[in-house]
Every structure is written in C-alpha cells, then in structure tokens.
A and B are shown apart, each in its own frame.
Chain A
Amino acid sequence: AQSVTQPDIHITVSEGASLELRCNYSYGATPYLFWYVQSPGQGLQLLLKYFSGDTLVQGIKGFEAEFKRSQSSFNLRKPSVHWSDAAEYFCAVATKHGSSNTGKLIFGQGTTLQVKP
C-alpha cells in the first residue's frame, strides 16, 4: 500500500541553523512528491514539488528537497532557518490509478518545527 512516513514528529532548531526534515514514501511507480507547510490556524501552502527530472528541486522561502529513488526519500532542507519558519510541515505523495494521476494525496503525519531564538 502507498504510504508516507515522516519519522520526526517534532524538531527544534536554533535560528540560523540548518534544517533537514525527513520523508520516506512507499510507492510502486515514479511518485509525484510534495512538501506543504501549515502555519497555526492556516491552510496548507505548497513549498515545492517533484514530478520528474532534476532530483534536487527548489521551492519557495529558500527551501529545497532532494528525491532519492534508491532510498525512497524526499527530504526537505533549508540552510539557515528563520523564526518565521516555525510551522508544521507535511510530505505527501500523489496517487495513480493505472497510468493516470488521480490527484489524491497521501500525507505523512507531519513534523512540527520549533525555532529557538
């Protein structure tokens, strides 16, 4: 079955430090992968996506993610975290029915990022 795992429920980093949020997926075909961010009381905002091509993808707010097929991972990184990055982050994979994209997303459990001043 398709699934997404975010091993870290909660992460705390100091402002200015680097960040890596882990995401592992289980999917039979080439996945469409996403990272979303959710600020408290808000909806989800897309940070970046991977459909195909270059395995290192750049997103908004200085985030990037690397798709590693051999490790079934799509980890999110940022070289220097800002206090405003404190939020909950979700990794997701879009499912397919045969060769067609259904658009349905399977989400990980989420990682809450706390930023220390």
Chain B
Amino acid sequence: NAGVTQTPKFRVLKTGQSMTLLCAQDMNHEYMYWYRQDPGMGLRLIHYSVGEGTTAKGEVPDGYNVSRLKKQNFLLGLESAAPSQTSVYFCASSYTGGTEAFFGQGTRLTVV
C-alpha cells in the first residue's frame, strides 16, 4: 500500500518555465490537498479538492492551478514559475473532511 505518492521528488526550474506536480493516492480518499512549506511558516494550503472534478482555492493559490480529473490523482501546475515559488510542496489526502490527512514525501522545487 503506497499511500500518497508525489512525483517528482526534486526539480529545478528557470524563471518563467512551467511544470506539473503529480500526486497519486491509493486509499480511495475523497479529499486531496496541496500545501507548501516554507521555513518558519509551517505549511500553507494552496488548493484542495473535495471530490473528483472539484477544486477550490486555499490560503495561497496565486500562481498555481490544479486539476482532479481522476479521484486518485491531484495535479498542481505552475504556468510561469517565479523564485517566490521555491518551496517544498506536500500533497495530502483524507477520506472525508473530518478524518486525518495522510501526507506524501514532498517535492522540493527550486526556481532560479
């Protein structure tokens, strides 16, 4: 049972480049989330989804887009990367809104 898997684990982008981070969960969870972690700031929610085909903005959504075409996958896109998006990105999933979230191992993204 893999849980929550994030791809890739590391990436370096040049300013203005685009990329997509993939999150896959095999626990049949309805809810999925993307967070970013920055030093001294804990984790902050970027976007989330409460079911296949749904997405919603979190606390820091600017510069990111997401899609949830399949229940098990939640994609995070950066259309035009900026150095301010250098961060560690975590995907999480939960069965419902009232249950615990399970986290992936993270993606370390550097934008130069």
Contact = CB atoms under 8 A, between A and B. Distances in A.
B44 A102 contact: no
A95 to B, nearest CB: 9
A105 B98 contact: no
A9 interface: yes
Interface in B75-90: 90
Interface string A5-41: 0000100000000000000000000001010100001
Q: Which of A4, A9, A43, A110 has the most CB of B within 10 A?
A: A43
Interface size grouping (class) on chain A:
20 to 34
A90 B48 contact: no
B105 interface: yes
Interface residues of B, number: 27
B43 interface: yes
Interface string A73-101: 00000000000000000101010000011
A45 B4 CA distance: 12
B41 A105 contact: no
Given A9-B40, A34-B100, A90-B43, A103 B31 contact: yes
Contact of B100 (A42, A46, A109): A46
A104 interface: yes
A100 B100 contact: no
Contacts of B74: none
A104 B33 contact: yes
Nearest to A102: B97
B40 A105 contact: no
Nearest to B90: A43
A29 B91 CA distance: 27
A44 interface: yes
B48 A104 contact: yes
A43 B97 contact: no
A63 interface: no
A107 B90 contact: no
Interface string B16-56: 00000000000000010101000011111100101000000
A41 B106 CA distance: 8
Interface of B: 4, 31, 33, 35, 40-45, 48, 50, 58, 90, 92, 94, 96-106
